Amino acid sequence: MSPAIATNDLPVTQYEESLIPILLPSDIYGEFQSNRLNHTPPLPSILKNPFRVVDGPATTAAGNPNEIAKLFPNLYGQPSVSLVPGHSEVKGQSLKVGVVFSGGQAPGGHNVITGIFDYLQERARGSTLYGFKGGPAGIMSCKYVKLTAELIYPYRNQGGFHMICSSRDKIETPEQLKQAEETVKKLDLDGLVIIGGDDSNTNACVLAENFRSKNMKTQVIGCPKTIDGDLKCKEVPISFGFDTACKIYSEMIGNAMIDARSTGKYYHFIRLMGRAASHITLECALQTHPNIAIIGEEVAAKNRTMKNITIYIADIICKRMELGFNYGVIILSEGLIDFIPEVKQLIAELNEILAHDVVDEAGMWKGKLRGQSRELFEFLPRPIQEQLLLERDPHGNVQVAKIETEKMLIQMVETELDQRKQRGAYKGQFQGKPHFFGYEGRCGFPTNFDANYCYALGYVTGILLHSGKTGLISSVSNLTAPVDEWTVGGTPLTSLMDVERRHGKFKPVIKKAMVDLEGAPMKKFASLRDDWALKNRYISPGPIQFVGPFANDINHTVMLELGAQFLF
């Protein structure tokens, strides 16, 4: 293995010498990082040949259409668009475009930017692409960098969002909207691209509506980003980053399985990222076959209490003990806590209290909790109480990444097993090992799928802007087919919207796509989980492959949801 090389020494294969990247002198790339720069994402054939942008039928909203129509009078009802072979009416005029990362990282984000950049270079010569620094705050404070070929080059096919960084700021108040208007006017922007999750794309829609209501020329296009996989609809089969994050977590779960089996004495309780929906947990279960995977949506649908979940886990541990297995692997999503009906109720009450009251040690605020919620709050271990009271994120969400549900479950299972032991119903030695696999999965090298998907998303974003569209999220579908056959277009953001209670008020939000309990991935899991619980059917998928026979494999969720034939 050759030593890490300075980026100034990066091999320049497909770029001219003058495009050698400019990074900080301290930035060095290892052999693999440099090698990934050479991956050239293939484009779907529709994007390589002459195409036309065609409108589909008018759309409505995901929920409360009347409210959404009132809130977005200039955008509501817009048709989806798709690209079909034909002669383009789009003129090759140059564009000024700004792009921003919003929210948590998701592998592939840099390729969205390179896709937009390459489109502008190839089809809208003379265009300028600006990157807003530090997320939406960069739009409001007009902090930007002009994205050139030199600057973009070292980020091709690399993980992270560090080319321009990100944040969770919301552009919402009249003052913030005004600041955004001033920025787009100052830079004379034709287009603004928001690469984000459900909350960020809600923001994109608010901005698009605001600009259009003021007859401003700036169009706004969103891109579906989030490892959580909960920003999707018929035309947007998955958000980018999900594929990579699940493969990284699955490798780590597989390793924990081998550890459990080797030592024969630990139960690994692994909490996985996924703030609300349990798509990541479900996908990782399908990839690795743990003894238990707790799917939040099912817990809510079946009205499971914390006690029920504890007993379910303890029962399996006891049965495994009888079979001679004093070890196992249990996975759960970080959003689980918010699905347990009694905790959900407590969180809803705490949200209202945090929005309107002073929450201090004196504890007067606790008087506002209803009886059952107060009892539950007092019952929870002190660290969990404190974690539930942490400040909400700027979009009003509980910061579930900071709530150590895995530790709470270990404590509860331990107590349950101790009681069983006293009754002679359990003879094992339970040792729970808590893990949280979160941030480390959000910043890895994008899989070939995410690298290619993101590049296509970026490219189609350029097309949507060039053809005068606004208030759309770019979409790339038919993802189980070879890249050549992928289809592309744009979906109105208003068609994904509903109204929800946030920060103690009703707000328009993109409706999260939760795990469908009747969907193919869940059905597959439900049909296999009893077998996985007692027998060791562990699969250790190993690290992500970038070349070789499995390099282009797609995650189970997308394959199953799109109806592809799939062998386990």
Per the listing, tokens 């009888």 go with 322
Nearer to ligand FBP, 225 or 420 (CB): 225
Is 225 annotated for ligand binding?
no
Least spacing, CB of residue 256 vs ligand FBP, in Å: 19
The whole-angstrom separation of Cα 30 and Cα 563 is: 39
Contact flags string 384-423 toward ligand FBP, x per CB under 6 A: ---------x------xx----------------------
| 240 CB-near residues (< 8 Å, 6+ apart) | 106, 107, 108, 109, 112, 223, 224, 225, 446, 450, 453, 454, 457
The whole-angstrom separation of Cα 177 and Cα 136 is: 11
Nearer to ligand FBP, 225 or 469 (CB): 225
Nearer to ligand FBP, 241 or 462 (CB): 241
Amino acid at 168: R
Q: Is 461 exposed, middle or buried (0-12, 13-18, 19+ CB in 10 A)?
A: buried
Find the binding residues for ligand FBP in span 24-63 (CB under 6 A).
Answer: none
What is the CA 422 to chain-centroid distance, rounded?
44
Q: How far is CA 172 from CA 107, 134, 137, 166, 351, in A?
A: 27, 17, 12, 17, 20
CA-based end-to-end distance of the chain: 35
Is 226 annotated for ligand binding?
yes
The whole-angstrom separation of Cα 367 and Cα 3 is: 62
Least spacing, CB of residue 271 vs ligand FBP, in Å: 10
Answer for which of 127, 202, 218, 226 binds ligand FBP (CB under 6 A) is 226
Least spacing, CB of residue 230 vs ligand FBP, in Å: 8
Interface size with ligand FBP, residues (CB under 6 A): 17
Nearer to ligand FBP, 43 or 295 (CB): 295
DSSP secondary structure letter of residue 481: S
Is 249 annotated for ligand binding?
no
Is 196 annotated for ligand binding?
no
Q: What angle do CA 442, 446, 449 make, to 5 degrees?
A: 125
Beta bridge partners of 487: 477
Is 442 annotated for ligand binding?
yes
Nearer to ligand FBP, 34 or 333 (CB): 333
Least spacing, CB of residue 296 vs ligand FBP, in Å: 13
The whole-angstrom separation of Cα 233 and Cα 245 is: 20
Find the binding residues for ligand FBP in span 436-465 (CB under 6 A).
Answer: 442
Least spacing, CB of residue 104 vs ligand FBP, in Å: 3
Contact flags string 91-130 toward ligand FBP, x per CB under 6 A: ------------xx-x------------------------
358 near 365, Cβ under 8 Å?
yes
The whole-angstrom separation of Cα 131 and Cα 100 is: 6
Q: Is 70 exposed, middle or buried (0-12, 13-18, 19+ CB in 10 A)?
A: exposed
228 an active-site residue?
yes
Tally the residues of the chain. 568
Least spacing, CB of residue 106 vs ligand FBP, in Å: 6
| 130 CB-near residues (< 8 Å, 6+ apart) | 96, 97, 98, 99, 144, 145, 146, 147, 187, 189
Is 198 annotated for ligand binding?
yes
**CA-based torsion, 548, 552, 555, 561: positive or negative:** negative
Stretch that binds ligand FBP, among 63-71, 225-233, 525-533, 540-548 (CB under 6 A): 225-233
Least spacing, CB of residue 17 vs ligand FBP, in Å: 37
Nearer to ligand FBP, 228 or 406 (CB): 228
Give strand ranges (E) for 361-431: none
Answer for which of 197, 222, 432, 492 binds ligand FBP (CB under 6 A) is 197
Nearer to ligand FBP, 274 or 328 (CB): 274
Is 322 annotated for ligand binding?
no
Least spacing, CB of residue 103 vs ligand FBP, in Å: 3
Answer for which of 99, 227, 317, 513 binds ligand FBP (CB under 6 A) is 227
Is 274 annotated for ligand binding?
yes
Contact flags string 243-282 toward ligand FBP, x per CB under 6 A: ------------------------------xxx-------
Is 228 annotated for ligand binding?
yes
Nearer to ligand FBP, 207 or 398 (CB): 398
The whole-angstrom separation of Cα 19 and Cα 212 is: 38
Is 89 annotated for ligand binding?
no
88 near 51, Cβ under 8 Å?
yes
| 281 CB-near residues (< 8 Å, 6+ apart) | 272, 274, 293, 294, 295, 296, 331, 332, 333
Is 227 annotated for ligand binding?
yes
Answer for which of 209, 228, 450, 561 binds ligand FBP (CB under 6 A) is 228
Nearer to ligand FBP, 36 or 402 (CB): 402
Nearer to ligand FBP, 167 or 480 (CB): 167
| 17 CB-near residues (< 8 Å, 6+ apart) | none
Token digits of residue 476: 């790339």
Stretch that binds ligand FBP, among 2-10, 202-210, 226-234, 558-566 (CB under 6 A): 226-234
DSSP secondary structure letter of residue 43: P
Find the binding residues for ligand FBP in span 121-180 (CB under 6 A).
Answer: 168
The whole-angstrom separation of Cα 150 and Cα 76 is: 40
The whole-angstrom separation of Cα 89 and Cα 117 is: 21
Least spacing, CB of residue 510 vs ligand FBP, in Å: 11
Find the binding residues for ligand FBP in span 298-357 (CB under 6 A).
Answer: 334
Q: Which of 169, 199, 228, 243 is catalytic?
A: 228
Residues making up the binding site for substrate:
226-228, 265-266, 273-275, 334, 439-442
Binding site for ligand FBP (CB under 6 A): 103-104, 106, 168, 197, 225-228, 273-275, 334, 393, 400-401, 442
Catalytic residue numbers? 228
Residues making up the binding site:
104, 198, 226-228, 265-266, 273-275, 334, 439-442
Residues making up the binding site for diphosphate:
104
